[in-house]
Amino acid sequence: MKHVIKPFKTLAVSAMTLAGLASCEKEMPIKSNDAYFSTAEFKKNLKAALAGARGYQFAITQNGQVADTAEYGIATVGGAKSDLDMFINVASVTKTLTAATVVQYMLQKDVTIESKIGAWLPASWAVHDTIKKLSFKQLLTHTSGIRGSATEWSSLMTTAASPITAPQSYEYSNINFALFRAILPKLHDSAKFRQRELSLPAADFQLWMSQEYMRLVNLHVLSKAGIPARGCAPVTGKMSMMMTEGPYRLIGSDFGDWSNKCGGGGWVLTTMEMARVIVYLTHSDNILSPEERALMDNNRLGWVARFPVKGGLAYGHDGALYVNRNKEEGLNGGDVGSQTLIIKLPAKVELALGVNSVKDGWRDLYDIVAAAYNKSWVNN
């Protein structure tokens, strides 16, 4: 299947420029010694670095369109082939979706990234003063002092009621972004939010907030990238799995339903849909205005990585999920897992990647991509 992403029009070469070349037909062209980026080399380098995975799939885009793709190996223990259009839990790539949604409210209401979150949490929650005083920016940059990774509603409410005792310096926590499952619906329509909070039983109100959060991400991000409505639940019959890598016995695990714990992780997309998201965030004003894009990039809102590569800076977010199957602490050989990544690079290049297995530790996807990208510049 040929995949095309066209967020903007392609410029055509004017016929007038050709007329002036007639007198030069017999002259030898002058070759430039300048290096250019080769998507073919990038693909080759990535495939070499990902050797050993049970399966992977990636899409390389340049100038807003698909330049090359790769599908390798299997996506499930049943032997389903790795496929760009098979669904995967994108894990923490979710944070970029959440941030891109939040940013669109920062320049439309009397709210900035420095505003305090207290007024935007449910009034029915017990909220400690140290939580009320946190800024949107602190949540979006993991500098809140919040610790922990459990993102169910009970965990969010416990976090909100507890004092912050850890340093308010960078420390990655899924809870920071999962709190937007409660904050975004109130940002969108505070009157409707309050009406639901007063009229619904607690469990139903939590369900409504979850559904409203997913509706808003669809509205503000996915639909603007031409992606049908998605969510945080598995897509029956079309899901990849988390798997082991050799030499360990092939076993796998499903991702499960994240509908009531998403925000920091959990969105279910295809790798090609991840490619659409990063292309539209980068090359189009459909999702973000230039001002919103600058706000997101300059403050690293929803980008966990920003690092130098040839020609400029790369911005990305990766995701990683695993299930402990060998009963040893942490990720080890015999556990099952998967990794994802979206990243924008200089030379108007982007990458969306899904890896369907883990071995005895996480792949450093940023090092892999940086090395593959830097080696993909060739001379004419």
Residue range 237-259, pLDDT digits in tens: 999 999 999 999 999 999 999 99
The mean pLDDT of the chain is 92
- Secondary structure (3-state) at 185: helix
Distance of CA 88 to the CA centre of its chain: 12
Report CA dihedral (190, 193, 194, 200) to the nearest 10 degrees. 180
Task: Taking residues 370-377, report their average pLDDT.
Answer: 98
Residues whose CB falls within 8 Å of the CB of residue 265, separated by 6 or more in sequence, listed in order: 89, 90, 91, 92, 94, 95, 151, 174, 258, 319, 321
Task: Taking residues 136-148, report their average pLDDT.
Answer: 97
pLDDT at 354 over 60: yes
Q: What is the DSSP string of 197-247?
A: HHHS-HHHHHHHHHHHHHHHHIIIIIGGGTPPP--SS--TT-B--EEE-TT
Closest C-alpha among 150, 375, 122 to residue 262: 150
Closest C-alpha among 142, 141, 159, 163 to residue 150: 159
pLDDT at 2 over 70: no
Residue range 149-192, pLDDT digits in tens: 999 999 999 999 999 999 999 999 999 999 999 999 999 999 99
Domain parsing of the chain, residue ranges = 33-93+233-379, 100-219
Distances (CA, A) of 279 to 181, 224, 273, 362: 25, 11, 10, 26
| Model confidence band, residue 272 (pLDDT cutoffs 50, 70, 90) | very high
Distance CA 274, CA 278 (A): 6
pLDDT at 30 over 60: no
* Range with the poorest average pLDDT among 18-27, 213-222, 266-275, 348-357: 18-27
Q: Are 220 and 96 in contact (CB under 8 A)?
A: no
pLDDT at 18 over 50: no
Helices marked H in 9-73: 16-19, 39-49
Helices marked H in the chain: 16-19, 39-49, 94-106, 129-132, 136-140, 153-161, 174-178, 180-188, 190-199, 202-217, 271-283, 290-298, 365-374
Instruction: Identify the pLDDT of residue 6.
Output: 44
pLDDT at 7 over 50: no
Task: Taking residues 229-235, report their average pLDDT.
Answer: 98
Instruction: Identify the pLDDT of residue 153.
Output: 98
Q: What share of the chain has pLDDT > 70, as a percent?
A: 91
Task: Taking residues 89-98, report their average pLDDT.
Answer: 98
List the CATH code of the domain at 33-93+233-379. 3.40.710.10
* Range with the poorest average pLDDT among 31-35, 172-176, 277-281, 373-377: 31-35
